[in-house]
Amino acid sequence: MIVLLQSDWYLMKNAQNLDASNGILSVRGGIAVKTATGFFERLIGLLSYKELPCNSGLLIRKCSAVHTFGMRFTIDVLFLDSDDRVLKIVTLAPRKVHCLFSANSVLELSEGAADFHDIKAGDTLWKKEI
């Protein structure tokens, strides 16, 4: 389950015990996902990170292809349809490209996060506004 917390944060899949006080988001049992909304956020993506914490990710809407050129770490890439159903999961090492033209969005997670959180192709990531 994904829950919309603020304008661009989500809490995903079996998450509990959320604390968003003082602008600090802490999540136990789920994944905090930031949505890349602006041009530069979408352009830069995860390039500015040295590593991606295992409990966070980046959601890019209206996207069907990703690259890891310039990145320093491997990521799990979840390709989603318009209903946020997982179409495909790939693990992408640095300096690689992958696309799925039927995808509507891409969720980038740390390597192994999809397995750790038991996310599989066919799962639907539901959303609910607070």
Question: Where in the chain are the domains?
Answer: 33-129
The distance from CA 41 to its chain's CA centroid, rounded to whole angstroms, is 13
pLDDT digits (tens, 9 = 90+) for 67-94: 999 999 999 999 999 988 999 999 999 9
pLDDT of residue 126: 59
Task: Name the stretches of the chain with pLDDT < 50.
Answer: 1-11, 13-28, 128-130
pLDDT of residue 31: 76
pLDDT of residue 30: 67
Say what the pTM is.
Answer: 0.77
pLDDT of residue 21: 43
pLDDT of residue 93: 96
pLDDT of residue 29: 53
Fold designation for 33-129: Jelly Rolls (2.60.120)
pLDDT of residue 56: 82
